[in-house]
Structure 1
Amino acid sequence: MAADPAIAHLLRRAGFGAGPAELAVFNQLSLPAAIDRLVDYEQIPDTVDSYRLTPGYLGTTSRGPLEPNTDINDARQRWLFRLVHTERPLQEKMALFWHNHFATGYNKVAGQLGGEGASRALAAKPSEDANGLRGQYELFREYSLGNFRDLLIQVSQDPAMVAWLDGDTNFARNPQENYARELMELFTMGVDHYTESDVYAAARVFTGWNLRRRSVPPDGNRYYTFL
């Protein structure tokens, strides 16, 4: 089905393009109505993950059932699956944007929390995790079009970010500046808009923002929450 050029452009910029079924929906809308549908995505049920359990969709791997809450490779597959099949493309595009903005590396987080702990910290979906943990990817979805200040506070308390930028070694007697510096240089102010004194002061503010390792939970796996 041929798409209205303006609608097609909108879906490329605010999403990841569109398949025939999605084009059929959007071609019936005016441009303002199409924008409203993209922005007001909470009015659309987020059912895309349930598709994985139906024939013709990704639901298993060579190792067995897909386990995106505890295995990072499966988590990546689920995210790619969501990018392709979501009915909330703007939410997913903004989650990907924030994932790039607040870049967090799995390998280092795994070195701190263990492979499964890192997978849960990055990708756990609360409704599927044994302890209701919310991974970083889900945080970005939740705040995808929200207030930046609120998102920044949540990211500062995010277990994956705390592990990634050494917040767990930031103590009043010996402030660790990694997160404070990245916060100013990359996440907010930008180069030449802060001083070394600002970095040191911010690092001191974040002392005590650490992780609590929970005792053995019902599923027998260790996990971490913000202290």
Structure 2
Amino acid sequence: MLDVGFNELTFAAVRDRLGVGESTLYRHAPDRDALVRIGLEQALADVAWPALAGPWRPMLESYAHAAWQALAAHPGSATEVARGVVPAAMAALFVDVSAALMRAGFTAEHAVLSSDLVFDLVADNRRATEHLDELVSSAGPGRARISADWFVDEAESASGTSGQSDTASVSPRLAPERAALRESVQAAIVSEPLAWFVAKLDVVLAGITATLAPQSADT
């Protein structure tokens, strides 16, 4: 499955790659989602996952990085996960990490919420990257086009040509804060995907530390 790639994953492509008949393939995978699950299982099995030990924060952070890299290694995988195609290995991974958080002092509810926050961020960031970098057939206009369109729309809004009411331009459109925001938005759009993910992950982990982690826990 991984040799075919998630973006090109069809019964015909897998059948041709493996050199097997259609009936043989159907015995192992009755539909495309089953093919995707098999591929995701293989992708996860290839990962050298970190140890589920030590302080909770570096453990959770290391799992987030490992999961991000696992999805990055197989373009299209995050888009499939975002559809809700979840293999047994992914569910087991979630439970293992949550159990490690409980051993670190989290309640079951807070462990699940923390794991969900982190792994949702991983999947969402990778899915967005697949679409922004046009790595999947269902991608939109792409990172460069979005960056260009953003500033065209901003310029039109500033000049009053976008059809918006005058109330939208009460504040000076060239105010220092607006210029700074435009610069930051541009930087976010064109930023290296892993760097932007790490910045978001730091915020999420800080939030977990402040609101969900036991205050006596070793972080």
Is TM (by shorter chain) over 0.5?
A: no
TM-score (norm 1): 0.29
Bigger helix fraction = 2
The structure whose RCO (Cα within 8 Å, separation 6+) is larger is 2
Larger Rg: 2
Bigger strand fraction = 1
TM-score (norm 2): 0.29
